[in-house]
Amino acid sequence: MPPSDDNSNPISPEVSDPAVAPLEPDEPAVFDLPNGSADEVVNVADEVNATLNILLPWGISLLLHAGVVLLAVFAVWTVVVATTDEEIVIPELELSATPDAPLVQQMQVREVTEPQPQQAPTPTPTPQPTPTETIDLSTQLVGLAGPSSSVPFGATISGPQLNSTFMGSRGGNARRIVFLIESGGSIVDTLPFVLEELKSSIRKLSEQQRFTVIFYAEHYGRNGLVEVPPGNLSSANAQQKQRVITWMDLDQRNVWAGGKSNVIPALRQALAYRPQLIYWLTDNPLGEGAFLIDRQRLLDSIEDTNRNNTKINTIQFLYPDPFMEAGQRATLEVVAEQSGGKFRFVDARELGLQ
């Protein structure tokens, strides 16, 4: 039966018109563009390439320069941070006239301001009456500042008025200072002297400085220490200095001597304030009895706790360290050297007690 002309026939009719004949599989499709369009495409491509050739080097150059600038900023920031962390502190009580100046410049200021000896003309000898023999104690007592000083903190003692400065200072750059004072039973009779010396030193502080005072002994209760109010470092203005001085008066009963002492909690408290300088006065840094600690343990504890590179000026008060009597360096001397501070030994003779 011949094939039906019905549209439902699934067999497609043969295509006889060559204009719509399907492409052969291997024959590529060709699309005709309007006249001149191909040339315009080529010209646009050339312009894009030319623009990229011009802009690309500039873009790369800008990126490289930006990278160099960022590296320079990072390097400068790193140096500034390192310089701040490695600030050199001159371990002196009194603030110099130029505390922010470089160390070399401060030393030059010291040399300029240091009084120079003057040679006076030789006077014509004249007969003089024989004076009554006197003793100049300022040449007899050798204190912390050398032959011209007699006491560690700066106050006077009974008898002739002997002027001195704390640790013989002429000015440093320490702005944050902690006074750490042992008040155990061994200094019962000399505590009044210590307090007067301490008051004298506090009066010399500048308003640019901050300070606190910590006393330590077992009778102070928790942690075995007591601190002048309000605690932490306070501005050394006139009002605060007077409050501290009044608070330390013995008749206020805030400070007294007695019993044994343990310096470890007190040192940790002092170092927690991140001071630049600590003055530590004690006659027995290693304690005794239940508070006796090993020397190396003390040194290790200070080194581990002192994260701020605080300078520690130490004063061995009245009694020599047993290590000194054995021909070795005093414990406080090692502490001072380890932290970059200064060490002094003040005996009874220097206090005028002998």
Higher per-residue confidence, 33 vs 282 = 282
Q: Closest by alpha carbon to 92, among 200, 32, 167? A: 167
Residues above pLDDT 90, as percent of the chain: 40
Partners of 278 in beta bridges: 178, 312
Read off the pLDDT of each residue in 155-183 and give the average, rounded to a whole number: 64
Secondary structure of the chain in HEC code, one letter for each residue? CCCCCCCCCCCCCCCCCHHHCCCCCCCCCCCCCCCCHHHHHHHHHHHHHHHHHHHHHHHHHHHHHHHHHHHHHHHHHHHHHHHHHCCCCCCCCCECCCCCCCHHHHHHHHHHHCCCCCCCCCCCCCCCCCCCCCCCHHHHCCECCECCCCCCCCCCCCCCCCCCCHHHCCCECCCEEEEEEECCHHHCCCHHHHHHHHHHHHHCCCCCCEEEEEEECHHHCHHHEEECCCCCCEECCHHHHHHHHHHCCHHHCCCCCCCCCCHHHHHHHHHHCCCCEEEEEECCCCCCHHHCCCHHHHHHHHHHHCCCCCEEEEEEEECCCHHHHCCCCCHHHHHHHHHCCCEEEEECCCCCCC
Token pair belonging to 113: 């301001």
Q: Which residue has the tokens 């009456």?
A: 129
Q: Quick one: pLDDT at residue 149? A: 38
> At residue 245, does pLDDT exceed 70?
yes
> At residue 155, does pLDDT exceed 50?
no
> At residue 63, does pLDDT exceed 70?
yes
pLDDT tens digit sequence for 286-314: 988 888 999 999 999 999 999 999 999 99
Q: Quick one: pLDDT at residue 172? A: 84
Read off the pLDDT of each residue in 38-55 and give the average, rounded to a whole number: 66
Read off the pLDDT of each residue in 19-26 and give the average, rounded to a whole number: 51
Mean pLDDT in the chain?
Answer: 74
Q: Quick one: pLDDT at residue 313? A: 95
pLDDT tens digit sequence for 141-150: 223 333 333 4
Q: Quick one: pLDDT at residue 295? A: 93
Where does the pLDDT of residue 54 fall: very low under 50, low under 70, confident under 90, or very high at 90 and above? confident
> At residue 36, does pLDDT exceed 80?
no
Higher per-residue confidence, 55 vs 147 = 55
List of residues 6+ apart from 321 with CB closer than 8 A: 285, 330, 331, 332, 333
pLDDT tens digit sequence for 194-226: 999 999 999 999 999 999 999 999 999 878 999
Torsion of CA 82, 86, 88, 91, to 10 degrees: 150
Q: Which residue has the tokens 């009895």?
A: 289
> At residue 24, does pLDDT exceed 90?
no
